[in-house]
Amino acid sequence: MRNLLLATITFLSIGQTAFSQDANAILDKVRSQFQTIQDLRCDVEMKFDIPGVAIDQISGKMIYKKPDKFRVKTKGLIFLPKQNPFSQLEILDDPKNYMAVAAGQAKSNGIPCHVINVIPTNNGELVLMKLLVGIQDGRIHESELTLKREGTVQYFNKYASGTDFIPTSMEFKADFKRFKMPKAISGDFNSTPVREEEGQSKYETGRVLMTISNLDINGKIADAEFEEEGS
Amino acid sequence: MSNQILKVEGLEKFYGKFHALKGVDMEVNAGEIFGLLGPNGAGKTTMLRMLVGLISPSNGSVTYFGNLQLNELGKVLPRIGCIIEEPKFYPYLSGLTNLKVARSYFPNKIPDQRVHEMIELVGLKGRENDRVSTYSQGMRQRLGIAQAMLNNPDLIFLDEPTNGLDPKGIIELRQLIIRLKEEFGKTVIISSHILSEIEEMADSMAIINKGVCVSQGSVAELLAKNTVTVSVETDDQDAAQTALAALNYTAKKDQQTLVFQSELDEIPRIVEKLMSTGRKIYRLDHKRKLEDYFLKLTAA
Amino acid sequence: MIRILQAEIIKAFARPRSYIGLASIVALVVLIDTSFYFTGKEYIDLLFQSFDQVFSLEGNIINGNLITFIILQTLIIQLPLLVALVTGDLISGESALGTLRYALTKPISRFKFITYKWITAMLYVLAILILLGVFAYLLSLVIFGLGDLLVLNADGLVVIRSAELFWRFMAAFVFAFISLTTVASLSLMFSAFSDNSIGPIVLTMVVIIVFTVISSFEMSFFDPVMPLLFTNHMHLWRRLFSDPIPMTEIMQSAGVLLLHSAVFFGITQYHFNRKDIFQ
């Protein structure tokens, strides 16, 4: 599957060297902004819209440290994307890790963007990443990651006015198999069974919205902060 | 009439089609021990159960203390005490706790002192804190009397109180029951199937058989008729019959036995006369007429 | 009134049988807490695996609130048996022992006698629930700490924030009390009809099992009787851990259960007041 995808994209990319050069140039700009960040700390408010899950919004602290340490500290339970939300940027940190192919332009939330396909060269979890990079601001407004185990997940980033590279809100969106729990395990003997209708998809789309504020970049975060208390 | 503590009129009980009590009439005077005599299954316990409100009568009326009826058990029960069948207690509780449980059912608080007095009265002092499961049958009977006496009742019902007791226990219990009457002025109604028991304790009695009250009266009156039935077994019935005829007794042959009526104080003279015949006498015994009467009345 | 209640409590709690329920609750709570302490994560991972593809759940999942919820969910099935073990014997046990005839020859009306028995049954239910609540909650909190509650339902998950949980647990215990009151009233009713100890206990369990089996069939044939089966309403305590809470549904079920208790109590009174006491 992965090889087929690579072959197709490589084929489509032949003769589009100019586009590739453009793509690399666009990503270089993104990378250069990302390279100024060693760690970050911010307040985060999380909202969840996951079918089959009732969970209130919650606020907490989000911390990130290169190369790949990420944690959201809250007083309660939260749902997070399996992949850390900065993983899309981590790949771009070294140009040897990927091949970039420009795929035209598109709008994300009304903002004109370059569409760039990123094909990792290593054999990692990521199969393909599609980025929508703002033509004007050079920031990632949308990304779509195709992952080996998790399928396709998307991020929609929003930025406050200004030039901050880190978005003020990140919306994570992914499809997952509808949650089903046998009564014997859940102990929920009184629920009326929801019968699946014919032709109904077995998948649902879930969203996690992270609104970021009080951003503190390169404030030097100790590794210990990423450890779970008591672990 | 004014002395009457209990009056039973036409008391009947049906269990389905079975007619357990067939219109019993009975009167008990205050301050006496009243015997309710009858063979097993005669209806004594059914009657006592009705009198203490455990089962409801099918027909008839009961008047307690001259003016209270069966439907006024709320007023009757504070004035009575009882042991119905064998006394039963919570075996996992001590005798004292059992009495305290029993007293909790009375509307007026019975003081601890009264509970301890009753324990002393029935001779259980020193054992009151032991579990009832460790008590002998006699001790349980006495504890039963203590619980029946807790509320200082005017009328006490004791259903076959000496059942299962050893001879010493029977004597002790009889003495205790007589004390209840003589020392404390209680009216006691005792049921029994043993005539001698009633004879020894009761002032008056009713004989009940197959759900019918066949006789009622004062024990003294019945015993005053000193007539006894004498039975003699000898090796020569004819000779004995002749000797008895000389004393004006008409003895009837009943297989190996001669049977005739006599006065109790005539028996030594009869023995002397029979001995004078020179024949062997294997057995001579007598039954009081009351016992005869009872047996006759209650014969199947 | 207090003296009779004291006597009834002394009688009920002096029997080893009364402690079977209480001891088994303590044992089960300790057992569940211990098992979660050592293998709780495996259990949660197993439950959560179908959901774990794209989202990961972060935070202290195995906490005192979750363990208390699981204990409540597990034991709520066994509690009727433990309750019936004592309440089913309250009248028939006295009958079998022969003490009933002594109590009833004392100046206490049968109505009051049954009412005190019923209150005693309720006190026993309360004792069991308080023990379960206090012991399960405190022990689990001490071992696992506070945290949000993750409720697994057949059709999804509910995460309830820690601050919301105390009153929900209290309400759940009140609902459990109402449910067990129905069981206690049922077994007490059977107890009034019986002269042996075991019959009412077995009969109560048979009724609960049969009703529960009928409930679990989920076939339209049984639909008309479903609202009448009190066991169907007993599980509604769990809805207090939903979001939003279906308050009307819960109140209706509580009403149905209370109505059952009242009917069982009424039948008990009616029968016992007319019953001839032979034992």
Query: CATH code for B4-223?
Result: 3.40.50.300
Beta carbons of B165 and B158 less than 8 angstroms apart: no
**Does B225 score more than 80 pLDDT?**
no
| Kind of pairing between the strands at A169-177 and C55-58 | unpaired
Beta carbon pairs, B and C, within 8 Å: 78
What residue has token string 């569409």? A115
Is position A212 within any domain? yes
Q: Please report the pLDDT score of residue A179 as a whole number.
A: 65
- Domain of A77 in residue numbering reads as 2-189+197-226
Beta carbons of C146 and C40 less than 8 angstroms apart: no
Q: Which residues pair with A113 in a beta bridge?
A: A106, A134
In the three-class reduction of DSSP (H, G, I as helix; E, B as strand; rest coil), residue B294 is classed as helix
Q: Which residues pair with C57 in a beta bridge?
A: A79
The domain defined by B225-298 carries CATH number 3.30.2350.10:
no
pLDDT digits (tens, 9 = 90+) for B239-280: 899 999 999 898 888 888 899 888 888 888 999 988 888 888
Instruction: Please name the residue ranges forming H helices in A49-180.
Output: 87-92
pLDDT digits (tens, 9 = 90+) for A163-222: 778 889 999 998 877 666 655 556 666 555 555 566 666 778 889 999 999 888 888 888
Q: B283 or C41: which carries more pLDDT confidence?
A: B283
**Does A15 score more than 50 pLDDT?**
no
Is position A119 within any domain? yes
Distance CA C112, CA C114 (A): 5
Does A72 contact C at CB distance below 8 Å? yes
- What residues of chain A, 29 to 58, have a C-beta less than 8 Å from chain C? 50-56, 58
Report residue B101 CA to chain centroid gap.
Answer: 28
Report residue B179 CA to chain centroid gap.
Answer: 16
Distance CA A52, CA A181 (A): 11
CATH number, domain of A204, equals 2.50.20.10
DSSP tag of C55: E
Nearest to A59 by CA among A219, A222, A213: A213
Does A182 contact C at CB distance below 8 Å? yes
Q: Please report the pLDDT score of residue A20 as a whole number.
A: 57
For C97, which of B56, B90, B105 is closest by C-beta distance? B90
Is position A231 within any domain? no
Q: Where are the domains of chain B?
A: 4-223, 225-298
CA dist A92 → A82, A100, A176 (Å): 19, 10, 27
**Mean pLDDT of the B158-180 span:** 86
Q: Please report the pLDDT score of residue B87 as a whole number.
A: 87
Cβ distance of B101 and C106 shorter than 8 Å = no
**Does B300 score more than 80 pLDDT?**
no
> String of b and e for A179-215 (b: at least 16 CB within 10 Å)?
bbbeeeebbbbbbeeeeeeeeeeeeeebbbbbbbeeb
Total Cβ atoms within 10 A of residue C279: 17
Nearest to A129 by CA among A114, A112, A147, A113: A147
Domain count for chain A:
1
**Does A231 score more than 50 pLDDT?**
no
**Does A18 score more than 60 pLDDT?**
no
Q: Please report the pLDDT score of residue A181 as a whole number.
A: 61
Q: CA neighbours within 13 Å on the CB side: how many for B149? A: 26
Of all residues in chain B, the percent with pLDDT exceeding 90 is: 34
Distance CA B90, CA B80 (A): 21
DSSP tag of A193: P
Cβ distance of B100 and C105 shorter than 8 Å = no
Q: Please report the pLDDT score of residue A186 as a whole number.
A: 60
pLDDT digits (tens, 9 = 90+) for B26-38: 999 999 999 998 8
DSSP tag of B94: B
Report residue A38 CA to chain centroid gap.
Answer: 19
Contact residues, chain A, for C50 at CB < 8 Å? 177, 179-181
Does B106 contact C at CB distance below 8 Å? yes
Is position A72 within any domain? yes
Contact residues, chain B, for C12 at CB < 8 Å? none
Q: Please report the pLDDT score of residue C203 as a whole number.
A: 94
Is position A137 within any domain? yes
> String of b and e for A105-141 (b: at least 16 CB within 10 Å)?
eeebeebebbbbbbbbeeeeebbbbbbbbbeebbbbb
Q: Please report the pLDDT score of residue C249 as a whole number.
A: 92
Confidence at C40, pLDDT banded by 50, 70, 90: confident
Beta carbons of A22 and A48 less than 8 angstroms apart: no
Q: Please report the pLDDT score of residue A97 as a whole number.
A: 80
Amino acid occupying residue B181: K
Is position A68 within any domain? yes
In the three-class reduction of DSSP (H, G, I as helix; E, B as strand; rest coil), residue A45 is classed as strand
